[in-house]
A and B are shown apart, each in its own frame.
Chain A
Amino acid sequence: MSKLVAKILFFPLAALALGAAYQAVHPEGLWTLRTGQKAYDDGFERVTWTEVQPKVSSGDWLLVDARDEDQFAAEHIPGAVSLPAASYEEMLLFFAEEHGREKPVVIYCGTEDCEMSAELAIRLRDEAGLKEIRILEGGILAWRRAR
């Protein structure tokens, strides 16, 4: 009987342990992002897709995709530019030079909570000196739902 219980418990417990360990070592590991989210959660205005769409269409706001390049290539919001959250500082500075530090940007990523957006937002503010940064609430999912 106890052998059967051990076998039954093996699958979920092993999956949890392997999953937790894998996330800890993976470059995009979820635990790292969770920690980052807590550290970077404050200070940036969250905006909805309804607010963002007209501003982006008129060219007033620049839409920035914080996910990695493969994800951007697979799907992105039309008009968005790719700037992965893990970009080197030089890339952030190049981005600031190219688009200007005064241009308002809206950052999105792939998840509802947008951990990478917050991470990129604080880097763009602190390392590249951007003045006006917002985060798209719901990330790319908000755009998908509105399509």
Chain B
Amino acid sequence: MRTAAIVFLRLLIGGLFLWAGLSKLGSPLQTLATVYSYQVVLPDLIASLVAASLPWMEILLGTALLAGIWLPVATGWTATVLVFFSMMTAQAWWRELPIDCGCVDLSVLHPALAALTTPGGATLRNLVLLVLTVLLAVLARKRAVV
């Protein structure tokens, strides 16, 4: 049961991260525009570094989770990235910024899921994913100990 839960969470979170990363690769400028749209004061060089490296961070973490490689480190980084995402979307939500979250648009699965790309919906999604990632880390750690 525990193994099944671990595999399910790895596939879910890893798949979403890989999808998110790959979907950003085609349009670097759009990714940079999304970074700027959060209106957090960043030097241009830092904003560019975030826009350049973020898709690859998502791809690497998604691949590691899907493959089950270095799980403790991969879940740790995934949780860190999700905390960062949650803070960004939450501040945009609080400030009522008209942003596109830059995240995977799940409305291709169901139109109602388009709500998850709004700042509020994205914050909620990030927090749920954060909880699931922590759960994955705990389950994977317990299995390693056992």
User: Hey, which bits of chain A sit against chain B, CB under 8 A?
Assistant: 4, 7-8, 10-12, 14-16, 18-20, 22-23, 26, 28-31, 33-34, 67, 71, 109-113, 116, 139-141, 144-145, 147
Contacts and interface: CB of A to CB of B under 8 A. Distances in A.
B30 A29 contact: no
Interface string B47-86: 0110111111101110010000010011011000000000
B32 A111 contact: yes
Contact of B28 (A14, A30, A113): A30
B93 interface: no
B60 to A, nearest CB: 6
A16 B33 contact: no
Interface of B: 25, 27-30, 32-33, 36-37, 44-45, 48-49, 51-57, 59-61, 64, 70, 73-74, 76-77, 97-98
Given A22-B52, A113-B44, A29 B37 contact: no
Contacts, number: 92
A31 B49 CA distance: 10
- The prevalent SS among residues of B at the interface is helix
B48 A18 contact: no
Given A28-B27, A30-B48, A113-B44, A16 B32 contact: no
Contact of A19 (B44, B52, B64, B74): B52
Given A7-B70, A34-B48, A22 B30 contact: no
B56 A15 contact: yes
B48 A11 contact: no
Contacts of A18: 53, 56, 59-60
Contacts of B59: 18
Nearest to B25: A22
24 contacts: A10-B73, A11-B60, A11-B64, A12-B77, A15-B60, A16-B49, A16-B56, A18-B56, A19-B56, A20-B53, A28-B27, A30-B51, A30-B52, A34-B44, A67-B29, A71-B29, A71-B30, A112-B36, A113-B36, A113-B44, A116-B29, A141-B37, A144-B37, A144-B98
